[in-house]
Amino acid sequence: MQIDLFDAQLTDGQGSEHFSASTGTVHLLADHRLILYPHFLSPRSAADFFSSIDASTPWWQGSLRIAGKQIDVPRLQCWMGDPHCYFAYTGLGLSPEPWSEPVSEIRNLIEELTGVSYNCVLINKYRNKNDSVAWHADDEPQLGPSPQIASLSLGGTREFQFKSKIAFAHEKRASRLMKYTLQLATGSLLIMEPGVQEHWLHRVPKSKLNVQPRINLTFRNIAK
Ligand SMILES: O=C(O)CCC(=O)C(=O)O
């Protein structure tokens, strides 16, 4: 498999008080499409949403048991959504927090742009350069066989990396060729179309640079 990248304009900017420009760029990971809207929210709206989401979200510190020790995950989290949306988290079924007003508003804006419905969202807060999320795919069975995920970023720019699942299972030399990195800046919206979660892992690595705090929201859909 070969990474094949090209840029294509999708739509032109349109009127909404929040949209800066809804022009998207397609990035191909082999046969699977990412669409990046770098200026989905204006810088002002992104800053306002960062503050209101940061203040209104019931942040939660998750932990994992590794080699007999309970270790904090390196970020804060919140699972939000419709009441039926349970989240499988290290063997636990987490109940969702009810939709907050700013998160609900962002969901409406994304649904308006993409024409796809989302009924739950995982919100991550990266407090500093040491916060991160390890390689994984959003491929939990309750998301269905081929989910579309919409990922909105607010605050400091972070690297978002992809790695082929096949390469991950084999040697390091192959995996180097199968990596792809995007910079996710504030106000950007990344759509990971069906197919991406089945074939690719993603992560946000720790940063070498000092970065501003960042909030990321990955909108998903769980069938009733
Ligand atoms: O912070 C990000 O950009 C990605 C978060 C993520 O990978 C997830 O919520 O599954």
Mean of per-residue pLDDT scores for the chain: 87
Nearest residue (CA) to ligand 1, atom 2: 216
Atom of ligand 1 nearest to the CA of 160: 3
In the predicted structure, residue 105 carries a pLDDT above the cut 90: yes
Q: Is residue 1 part of a domain?
A: no
Return the closest-CA partner of residue 110 out of 45, 60, 37: 37
Q: How many domains does the chain have?
A: 1
10 CA distance to ligand 1 middle (Å)? 24
137 CA distance to ligand 1 middle (Å)? 9
Q: What is the pTM of this model?
A: 0.89
pLDDT of residue 214: 98
Dihedral, CA of residue 72, residue 120, residue 192 and residue 204, to nearest 10? -10
Q: Which amino acid is at 26?
A: V
Atom of ligand 1 nearest to the CA of 138: 10
Residue 92: pLDDT band with limits 50, 70, 90: low
Atom of ligand 1 nearest to the CA of 158: 3
Q: Is residue 204 part of a domain?
A: yes
Ligand 1 pocket, residue 124 CB under 6 Å: yes
Q: Which of the 8 DSSP states describes residue 122? A: E
Looking at residue 183, which CATH number applies to its domain?
2.60.120.590
157 CA distance to ligand 1 middle (Å)? 13
For 148-159, write each residue's pLDDT tens digit: 999 999 999 999
Q: Which residues contact 198 (CB under 8 A, 6 or more apart)?
A: 137, 139, 145, 146, 165
What element of type H or E holds 109?
A: helix 101-114
123 CA distance to ligand 1 middle (Å)? 8
Give the phi and the psi of residue 171 in degrees, each rounded to 5: -85, 170
For 160-197, write each residue's pLDDT tens digit: 999 888 765 555 555 555 689 999 999 999 999 999 99
Q: Which residues contact 84 (CB under 8 A, 6 or more apart)?
A: 222, 224
pLDDT of residue 224: 87
Q: Is residue 8 part of a domain?
A: no
Q: Is residue 105 part of a domain?
A: yes
133 CA distance to ligand 1 middle (Å)? 7
Max Cα separation, the chain?
54
Residue 6: pLDDT band with limits 50, 70, 90: very low
* C-alpha span between 3 and 180 (Å, rounded): 8
Q: Is residue 199 part of a domain?
A: yes
224 CA distance to ligand 1 middle (Å)? 23
Give the phi and the psi of residue 159 in degrees, each rounded to 5: -75, 140
Q: Hey, which of 203, 204, 207, 212 would you mutate to test ligand 1's pocket, going by the most ligand atoms within 8 Å of its Cβ?
A: 204
Interval 193-215 mean pLDDT? 96
Q: Is residue 133 part of a domain?
A: yes
* Residue numbers of the domain that contains 180: 25-220
One-character DSSP codes across 76-95: EEEEEE-TT--EEETTEEEP
Hey, what are 182's tokens? 């995007």
How wide is the angle at C-alpha 203 spanned by C-alphas 197 and 205, nearest 5°?
Answer: 175
Establish how many alpha carbons lie within 13 A of residue 72's alpha carbon, considering only the half-sphere containing its beta carbon. Answer: 8
Q: Is residue 143 part of a domain?
A: yes
Q: Is residue 45 part of a domain?
A: yes
